[in-house]
Amino acid sequence: MNKLLNRNLSKIENETLASFIFRISKGNDCSFPSTICSFLDLSTYDLQKNEFTSNSLSVLSELTDQSLSNLRMMTNSFFIDAFGEVLFEELIIKNNVQYCPLCVSVEFHHQRNWAFIPISVCLKHNVFLIDRCCNCHAKISLNSYWYESCKKCDFKYKDAVAVPIDSKSFELISQKKLYEIIIEMKAPFFKELSSLEHLKLILNSRKLITGLTSFTGEGRLENYFWDKTTLSHLYANCIWLYFNFPRNFNMAFNRVNTQLNYLVINKLKRFEYYLESISESQIQTHYANTTIKLQRNSDDFMNIDTISYEDAIHLLNFRHYQFKSLERAKIINPKFTKGNVKRYTLIEIKRLHKILEGELDVGDFNKVTFKKAISKYRQLGFSFEKAVLWITQKKLKPYRDAESLDLDGLLLDEDKLIELLDAQ
């Protein structure tokens, strides 16, 4: 099997598996890794997405003498399993690339941490990551990156000039914390919350403070995904909220409460829904017991018993098409509709959220994940809507392990599922 490669390579720290394969291809005089992809039974599209099947990883492990666990940690699949597909899609940079010019000057490659939207600094060199051609300012596509030069102007990405970040800036501190949460999967602020719950806390805080005046600098906080400087500043403010807790947190919410309008109140409501969904924690207790909590008595123009479409999707952590499919199946029904505006009964949405959380897995049964079950039994009529329907009807019981907090990672009893499908 190793005859396919004349020269093997060592992987670079934090390197993606896609990058590793590209370097192996070049090291073995292949212009593009299609030969290795064919051998792994993997499409070049999946390679560029850095997503690999279990079988392709096993074959590659034998081919490169790298352990299966090490190879898996180099893939996006590793982070999808850790964060859940919905959260991963919110974090990942799609179709484009950012990189550190000092890292690639030694040997051209791509790193796992460069693939995430919140991370904008190389912590090894304390320089900003580059996401545009330094000559013509075009976005860096995946394809052009692997050929190491801009397709529009032939600029060599290795020749980019690194821009240092102020070593005393809070932005650098925030980047270190984001790296801990996303890449190292640590929990830096609240010991009772997992790294995944920390990540969700940061993302929910981002939605809350977007549009407000910056707490760490000047100007408004905006969620412009195409503007790295603005986005980096926004995430720095999210991290700032939880430094010196609860001092900064209280300061921020006192400011929020002086700017109450319909939009801000909706954001506060959404943040409260999120806090109610997480495990008992210091932040949850503090928010519930202080005056910074939203004063609902002053909110006469909003119906507290109902929530908007966007709030319902956020609370359930659904994608839009998933929510709409449950509406079509009459599993979710709006309380009332006025024009294009729909509102849903809050207690019903919360009840569905609680049901779909699942119980901690303590049973000895034939397990299959929610996502895999839908894919595996789709031809037998099993679908997302049917899965949720059977769960709400208590025909199918969902479980979860200690690490999984999202819908795709729920565990189902496969034998019971087959029994239900046979009885249709």
Segments in 278-377 forming alpha helices (H):
282-288, 309-316, 320-328, 346-357, 370-376
pTM, full prediction: 0.72
How does residue 315 score in pLDDT terms, banded at 50, 70 and 90? confident
Q: What is the pLDDT of residues 343-400, one digit of tens each?
A: 888 888 888 988 888 887 667 888 888 988 998 999 999 999 999 999 999 999 998 7
pLDDT band at 291 (very low <50, low <70, confident <90, very high): low
Residue 264 has a pLDDT of 73
Among residues 325, 330, 331, 332, the alpha carbon closest in space to that of 383 is found at: 325
Q: Can you read off the two tokens belonging to residue 276? A: 């109610």
Question: DSSP character for 292?
Answer: T
Q: For residues 33 and 21, is the Cβ–Cβ distance under 8 A?
A: yes
pLDDT-derived band at 298 (thresholds 50, 70, 90) equals very low
High-pLDDT (> 90) share of the chain, % = 38
Which token pair is 279?
A: 């495990």
pLDDT in tens, 119-129: 999 999 999 99
300: left (phi over 0), alpha (psi -120 to 50) or beta: alpha
Instruction: Report the percentage of the chain scoring pLDDT > 70.
Output: 88
* 342, β-bridge pairs: 337
| DSSP summary character for residue 289 | T
Number of neighbouring beta carbons within 10 Å of residue 50: 23
Q: What pLDDT does residue 297 have? A: 43
3-state secondary structure of 145: helix
Q: Give the list of residues 6+ apart from residue 154 with CB closer than 8 angstroms, or none.
A: none
Report d(CA 263, CA 182) in Å as an integer: 29
Could you tell me the pLDDT band of residue 1, with boundaries at 50, 70 and 90?
Answer: very low
Q: Which residues contact 36 (CB under 8 A, 6 or more apart)?
A: 4, 21, 24, 25, 30, 63
The length of the chain is 424
Specify the 3-state DSSP secondary structure of 342: strand
| Confidence label for 138 from pLDDT (cuts 50, 70 and 90) | very high
Helix ranges restricted to H, 50-117: 54-64, 68-73, 76-83, 85-91, 101-106
Please give the pLDDT value at position 239: 96
DSSP state, 369? E
CA atoms within a 13 Å half-sphere pointing along the CA-CB vector of 167: 3
